[in-house]
Chain A
Amino acid sequence: QSVLTQPPSASGTPGQRVTISCSGGSSNIASNTVNWYQQFPGTAPKLLIYSNNLRPSGVPERFSGSRSDTSGSLAISGLQSEDEAEYYCAAWDDSVNGWVFGGGTKLTVL
């Protein structure tokens, strides 16, 4: 059981806009920033969004993040087939004094 809750799956068609939610609580998302990671099968995760809505260099503008109260959200616009991957959210949790992850969302491009 993950501290942060994500839907196990999401899907969309090419060109569509898809959002993935990440639900937390007062000790994590409400008081600390949310980061998002993308992982393809058999490879290491990659930082996609940090500090709620910032993109590391090289990450396309199609990827955006937001945070509201105890929830974070990852949006992917202009969906492409190469976006098919697992997506994880993470945040620092003040009550456990450590990082917590969501369980991951498998994105399928139909």
Chain B
Amino acid sequence: EVQLVESGGGLGQPGGSLRLSCSASGFPLENYAMHWVRQAPGKGLEWVSGITWDSGRTAYADSVKGRFTISRDNAKNSLYLQMNSLRREDTALYYCVQDRGSGWFTAFDDWGQGTLVTVSS
């Protein structure tokens, strides 16, 4: 059974940093591209970032480009999101998501339960 468990959320200061982690189990992480998708309270879904199986290609939403960095460690079955220069509008539930494909992005297949990030002073 695929399991994706996010951690690292919490209260962040405007201009500050947080690092999200996602621990994957039940499938070979190295075979799949991965994503972060967020959902602000009471709002819709917003894709944040994606990374191919070998970290060869990454992509970011314009809203986070230059501030967030996605990375992965297949040996540790883990996905990360380094969030810098936090803004209040980054407040959201952040989901770790497994893609159906490996080399590029196909669809958001399995989802974690999310970790809540709140940006406030």
What size tier do the contact residues of chain B reach?
A: 20 to 34
- Using CB atoms, name the residue of chain B closest to A43: B113
> Judging by beta carbons under 8 Å apart, are A101 and B45 in contact?
yes
List of A residues within 8 angstroms of B95 by Cβ = 44-45
List the one stretch of A12-20, A21-29, A76-84, A88-96 in contact with chain B: A88-96
Contacts A37-B108, A50-B107 given: A44-B114 contact, CB under 8 Å? Answer: yes
Mask for A47-61, Cβ within 8 A of B = 1, else 0? 100110000100000
Assess the A88–B44 pair: CB atoms within 8 A.
yes
Q: Provide the residues of chain A in CB contact with B111, threshold 8 Å.
A: 44-46
Most chain B beta-carbon contacts within 10 A, residue among A47, A56, A97: A47
Residues of A within 8 A of B35 (CB): 99
Write out the residue numbers on chain A whose beta carbons fall within 8 Å of the beta carbon of B105: 92, 99
Given A88-B45, A104-B45: A99 in contact with B112 (beta carbons within 8 A): no
A39 to B110, CA, bound (A): 13
Contact A101 B46, CB 8 Å, known A44-B95, A44-B112, A96-B62: yes
Q: Which residue of A lies closest to B114 (CB)?
A: A44
Chain A residues near B44 (CB-CB < 8 A): 2, 88, 101-104
How distant is the Cα of A99 from the Cα of B45 in the complex, in angstroms? Answer: 11
Which residues of B from 59 to 117 have beta carbons under 8 Å from A? 59-62, 95, 100, 105-114
Which residues of A are in contact with B by a Cβ distance under 8 Å?
2, 35, 37, 39, 44-47, 50-51, 56, 88, 90, 92, 96-104
Known contacts A37-B108, A90-B108, A98-B47, then 10 further A-B pairs from the complex at CB < 8 Å, ordered by chain A residue: A44-B112, A45-B45, A45-B108, A46-B111, A47-B110, A88-B44, A90-B45, A90-B107, A98-B60, A99-B35
